Amino acid sequence: MTAVATAVVAVGAATAMTGAGGAGERDTARPDTSHTTLRLPLPVQPSASKSAPTATASPSASASAKRSASPKTASASPARRSPAGPAAGKLYRHPQSQVLEWVAANRGDSRRPLIESSIASQPAAVWFPQYNPGAITGDVRAVTSGAAAAGRIPVLVPYAIPDRDCGGASQGGAPDLAAYDAWIRGFAAGLGSRPVIVILEPDSIALADCLSAQTRAGRFASLSRAARAMHAANPQAKVYFDAGHSNWHPAAEQAAALRQAGAASSGDGIFTNVANFHRTADEAAYARRVLDALGGPARLGAVIDTGRNGNGAPAAGQWCDPAGRALGQPPTTSTQQARIDAYLWVKLPGESDGCKGAPGTFTPSYAYELAQR
């Protein structure tokens, strides 16, 4: 296994770059999947704005499960789960990452102290972008056992859904949903018994419009089974479903798709802003609107990717390593905000979208620019 990035693995990226009002940020959070490293996070690319977040719309996808879950993935009863929100505690920083490797190899670089203190020291998500059914359980267990030994909470990103990225730059994943279901059961088997946070398949719901109604329904049913499998394997797991971001789908439309994917019945909440730049306050407000429209248990919350959103979104049309961005709020499970369970660094700051460096690679000049602002 090769080391990938420090906190994320790959996320799909839409090729369309037009949005409401002519905005041109990407609709997705694309990562580079050419790095096959498993336990380290990779980059994701920004999503494009499609419509105003306050508008309402009818559901964009239909999702009737084709079959019920097998006994192995039967839904765990709510009583078996831990209280709402991630358990209080510090998040896990994986000991291997591109930024840590750069820091170790460049002790004399004048940029090193700031990058080390501002980025390398922070916990970030660990992505799993490979369809590797024979190894996935051990790969996940290696991360969760390391986190358990450190008394920390890991953030894990499974990213192997079929048709991911709708054939874009991050295409790949399992060959079909049956294979994916088996892979995700293997993923769940490595979760251990301590608290973990799972960012379930970035772009899998917000970017599902490219799929046929039948394919979309199958995907949504599979996501629901995935969450149930994780809860059955580890009742302490917190599984969050894809809600895009505040300048993509209207809250009511996104909530309808999330409902069809089982987010209210099988998940613990939603995630937003993965690899994007929208301000935390905007994302929190959007997440609450989505949760309100979603309905479901009051325990449902949201997590927000804050890695690069310190200065908000760039001008329309700029999505690839845009200038003038800044680090956002450090990762924490103590947000002091209603229904916002955590601020996370899902895409590690400094990992390029493909303009200031090769896609998915740690680029010190970009990292330094983000950390200076």
Distance CA 193, CA 207 (A): 32
Q: Beta-strand (E) ranges in 130-255? A: 155-158, 196-199, 237-242
Structure tokens that stand for 369 in this block: 């620019």
User: Rounded to an integer, what distance in angstroms lies between the CA atom of residue 173 and that of residue 33?
Assistant: 10
Q: Which residue has the tokens 């024979």?
A: 134
Mapping DSSP to helix (H, G, I), strand (E, B) and coil, where does residue 168 land? coil
DSSP calls for 97-124: -HHHHHHHH-TT-TTHHHHIIIIITS--
Cα–Cα distance measured from residue 229 to residue 233, given in angstroms and rounded to the nearest whole number: 6
Distance from C-alpha of 45 to C-alpha of 12, rounded to nearest angstrom = 8
Q: Of 139, 165, 268, 282, which one is the catalytic site residue? A: 165
Exactly one of 282, 305, 321, 353 is catalytic; name it. Answer: 353
Do 90 and 153 form a contact (C-beta atoms < 8 A)?
yes
Directed axis angle between helix 213-233 and helix 177-189, to 10°?
20
Q: Which of 203, 242, 321, 341 is catalytic?
A: 203
Give the gyration radius of the chain's Cα atoms: 18
Which token pair is 46? 């920004």
Please count the other Cβ atoms lying within 10 Å of the Cβ belonging to residue 84.
15
The DSSP 8-state label assigned to residue 329 in this structure reads S
Q: What is the DSSP letter of 241?
A: E
Active-site residue 353, yes or no? yes
Query: Would you call 203 a catalytic residue per the annotation?
Result: yes
User: 135-161 b/e with 16+ CB inside 10 Å = b?
Assistant: ebbebbbbbbebbbeeebbbbbbbbbb
On whether the CB atoms of residues 25 and 319 are closer than 8 A, the answer is yes
Spatial CA neighbour of 300 closest among 285, 287, 316: 287
Catalytic center residues: 165, 203, 353
